[in-house]
Amino acid sequence: MRRWLLLQIGRAGLAAWAIASLVFILSRVLATGAEDVILGENSDLQARTLTVSPASQLLARQALRQRLGFTEPVFYVTRSSRDSASWHWHGTHNQYHHWLAGLLHGQLGWSYRDGQPIGPRLRAALGYTLPLTGLAAVITALGAVALGLVLASGPQAETPTGWRAGLQLLLTTLQGIPVFALALGLLFIFANPNALNLLPAYALGDNPANLEPGAYALQLIMPVLTLVLAILPEFTLPLATALHHELRTGYATTARAKGLSTSALLSKHALPNALLPLLTSFAGLLPTLLAGAVLVETVFALPGVGRLLAEAAAAHDYPVVVAGVLFTAIVRLLCLALADILYALADPRIRLAS
Amino acid sequence: MSKPRRVPSSGLTILAISWLLIIAVIGLLAPWLPLPFAPGVPDLLHVAEPPNWQAVPRHWLGTDPMGRDVLTEVVYSAQQVVILSLPAALLSALVGALAGGSAGFWGNRGWRLPLGAWLLGLALLWWLAALPGGTRMAGLLCAMALLAWWAAPRWPWVGRANWPLPLDSLFQAALTLLGAVPRLVLIITLAAGPPLSTAQLLLLLVAVAWPEPARQVRAHMLQVRELPFVEAAWAAGLPASRVWLRHALPHACRPLQTLVPLNLAGLIGLESTLAFLGVGRPPDVSSWGRLLGMLHQEPGAWWLLASAGSGLLLTLLALQRLARVATTA
C-alpha cells in the first residue's frame, strides 16, 4: 500500500515538474522579446517627457537583461547560434538551474513587470480563489447528489418524463454553455441597472478579512453560482445514469421485494454503489473548477489565481505564468492521486497494483 | 438497450442540422455577402447603439462600443468557426484516431522494429539535433542501417536483432503531460506570446484537443483487436499494417461520430473564450466571444448579448443535438 502510494505521488510530481519545465524553457526560448515588452511599457511614459538616445536605450536594455538574468544561457546545454553544429555545456550557471534551485527553496521567482516575488502574490490570490472554488465544489457535490436522486426516483423508463425531462434538458443545455457566457448572462440578469440590480457586479478589491461578512458573501454569490451551474451537469447526469443502472440490478429487486420504498432503496443501497465510480471524475472536476476560476474571476473582477494567470499571460509576464502552471498541475495531480487512494480505500476489492 | 432508441422529436434534429448548415454557408460566403458595413471598420458617429431600423446608416443589429456593425461581426464570427474550429476538430479527430488506434492495436510490444530502422531513426535524430560530427556521423549511421538491412536475411543474428517500440507507453506519457493542466490553462499559457496567426492557433487547438478522441479510440481498439474478424484477417496472412488500417481501425473509430460534434462544440467554446480573454488573437478578429466581452464596457447592451449570445448558444446546442443523434443512430 505505502509503496503504491509513493509511486502514485511520485508519478504525479514527475508530470507536474515536466510540464512546468517545458513551459519554462519554451517561454525563455521563444519569447526573446520579454525585455522589449517591459521597455515598451516604460517608454510610453518616457516618450512624452524626454527623448531617449539609441545609445542610452541600448544601455537600458543591457541593464535590464542583466537584472532579469537573460545574459545567462537558458539550459545546461545549448546550441551555439554562430556555428550550428556544436553544443556547449554551461554547468550550473544557467537560467533553468537557478529557477529549479529557487523552486526547491520555495522561491517561485520574480515578476517581470514589477520585480516583486511571486510566492506572496500567489498566496494572496489564493485567499480569493480557495473560498470560491471550495464553496463551489461543496455545493456542486451536494447538489449533484440531490438532483441525481430526484432524476432517478421517477418511473423506471429509459428517458425521464414530465418535469424530470425538463430538468434533464436544462442540465444538458447548461453543459453546452461556455463558462464565460454563463457568467456574462448572470451578470446581465442580476447586476444590470436596466434589469434586476440585486447583486454587486464587481469585487471592491479589498482583503476579504477587512470586509463585512455580509458584503463578502454577497460578492461571492454570483461567481460561486456560475461555477456550480457550469459544473453541476457534468456530475449530475452520469450519477443519474449510474443510479438508473443500479436500480435494474438484482439486489435492487430484492430490496423492493422486501417492501423498501424507492427513496430508501435509492439513498441506502443504490447511492453508495453509484457514487463510487464517480469519485475519480469528481477529483478531476476540482482542476476544472480552477480553469473556470480563470474566467469567473476575470468577469467578476476578483483578484484570484485565475485572473493573476490570465493577466500575466496577456502581459507576457512569463515567471508568473510558469508559477501558475506549476501550481495548477500540482493541484490537479494531487487530486487525481487522492481520488485513486480514496477509491482503493472505499472498495478494497480493487487491486492496488494494477 | 438491445434495439436502438428512437430519437425523440426529430423536428428539433432537422432544425439543428439546418442551423448548422446556415452557419457553415454564412461562414464560407462571408466575404461575398452583401453586408452594409465592412468588418473592423468603426462607425464613430454611432457607438454602442441599439438596433434602429429607421436610421439612415442602417445597423440592423446595432453597433458595439467601438462603433463596429454587430451584424457584420456576427457573420464574420461564423467564418472563424468554419476556418478555425471545424478544421481543428477534424484534424484532432484524425490525429487522435491514428495515435490512439496504433497505441491500442500494437501496445508496448506489438510493433517490433529491426536493427536497421533503429539505426536510421538514430541517424535522423543525430542530424536534427546537430550533435558532434553532424552530417558525417549521420551518414555513417545511415550506412550501418543499410548494411543491417542487407545483412538481415543473410546473417541470422542480425535478423533476430529487433526491439519493440513502446508505442503505448509513449502515448500514455504524452497524455499525462498534456493532461497535467486543464486545457484552458494550457492554451492560455502557450498562447501567451505575441498574437498568433490562424494556422498557428489551429495547430495549438489540435495539440490540446487530440487526447480525448485518442483515448476513446484506444479504448475501443483494445476491444476490436480481440474480435473474430480481426483474427480472421491475421489468419488470412495479411500484413500487420493492412489489418490495422483496413480492418481494425474503421471499427475502432466508431466513438468518433459522437465525439467529433462534441469536440467541435468544445473547440468553438474554447475559441470564443480565448477571444473573450483577448489571448492569442489580434484584437481585430471577429468572434462571438469578443462581442460578448464587450458587455463589460457596456453592461446594458442587450443587443450584443442577444445576437452574439444566440449565435454561439444555438450553434453549441445544435452540435450537442447532432452528437445525441449520432449516439442513438
pLDDT, tens digit, 9 for 90 and up, residues A187-245? 888 877 666 666 666 554 555 555 666 677 777 888 899 999 998 998 898 898 888 88
Contact B279 A192 (CB under 8 A): no
Contact A19 B295 (CB under 8 A): no
Query: Chain-wide mean pLDDT for chain B?
Result: 85
Whether the CB of A272 is below 8 Å from some CB of chain B: the reply is: no
**pLDDT tens for residues A281-297?**
777 777 788 888 999 98
Cα gap B21→B16, rounded to integer Å: 9
Query: How far apart, in Å, are the Cα atoms of B308 and each of A141, A178, B78, B85, B289?
Result: 32, 13, 10, 17, 8
Q: What grid cell was written down for A273?
A: 454503489
Contact A15 B320 (CB under 8 A): no
Closest to B278 (Cα-Cα) out of A62, A298, A150, A205? A298
Q: What grid cell was written down for B208?
A: 490540446
- Has residue A52 got a pLDDT over 50? yes
Whether the CB of A161 is below 8 Å from some CB of chain B: the reply is: no
- Has residue A43 got a pLDDT over 70? no
- Mean pLDDT: which of A42-46, B89-93, B133-137 is highest? B89-93
Q: Kindly list the residues from chain A whose CB atom is less than 8 angstroms away from the CB atom of residue B323.
A: none
Q: What grid cell was written down for A174?
A: 447548461
The interface pTM score, or ipTM, of the predicted complex is: 0.81
Chain A nearest CA to B5, separation (Å): 9
Res. A108 pLDDT band, cuts 50 70 90: confident
Q: Where are the alpha helices (DSSP H) in B211-255?
A: 211-224, 228-235, 240-242, 249-252
- Has residue B9 got a pLDDT over 60? no
- pLDDT at residue number A317: 81
Closest B-chain CA to A299: B296
Whether the CB of A173 is below 8 Å from some CB of chain B: the reply is: yes
**pLDDT tens for residues A324-339?**
888 888 888 778 777 7
- Has residue A171 got a pLDDT over 50? yes
Whether the CB of A7 is below 8 Å from some CB of chain B: the reply is: no
Contact B192 A313 (CB under 8 A): yes
- Has residue B100 got a pLDDT over 90? yes
- pLDDT at residue number B3: 45
Q: What grid cell was written down for A47?
A: 516618450
Chain B nearest CA to A205, separation (Å): 17
**Whole-number percent of chain A with pLDDT over 90:** 6
Could you count the other beta carbons within 10 Å of the beta carbon of residue A212? 9
Q: What grid cell was written down for A104?
A: 526547491
Res. A142 pLDDT band, cuts 50 70 90: very high
Contact B192 A321 (CB under 8 A): yes
**Angle between helical axes of A278-299 and A318-346 (0-180°, round to 10):** 150
Predicted structure pTM score:
0.84
Q: Kindly list the residues from chain A whose CB atom is less than 8 angstroms away from the CB atom of residue B320.
A: 172, 175-176
Among the partner-chain residues A85, A172, A310, the one whose CB lies closest to the CB of B130 is: A85
- pLDDT at residue number A164: 85
Res. B111 pLDDT band, cuts 50 70 90: confident
- pLDDT at residue number B206: 94
Could you count the other beta carbons within 10 Å of the beta carbon of residue A236? 25
- pLDDT at residue number B179: 81
User: For residue A282, what are the contacts with CB-CB under 8 A and spacing of at least 6?
Assistant: A141, A235, A339
Lowest mean pLDDT among A126-140, B30-44, B256-270: B30-44
Contact A179 B176 (CB under 8 A): no
What value does the mean pLDDT take over residues B108-131? 78
- pLDDT at residue number B1: 38
Contact A329 B180 (CB under 8 A): yes
Query: Chain-wide mean pLDDT for chain A?
Result: 79
- pLDDT at residue number A80: 62
**pLDDT tens for residues A57-67?**
778 777 777 77
Res. B96 pLDDT band, cuts 50 70 90: very high
- pLDDT at residue number A354: 42
Cα gap A346→A285, rounded to integer Å: 19
Q: What burial letters (b/e) apply to A299-319, b meaning 16+ CB within 10 Å?
A: bbebbbbbbbbbbbbbbbbbb
What value does the mean pLDDT take over residues A123-145? 90
**pLDDT tens for residues B222-246?**
999 899 999 999 999 999 889 999 9
- pLDDT at residue number A285: 76
Contact A314 B279 (CB under 8 A): yes
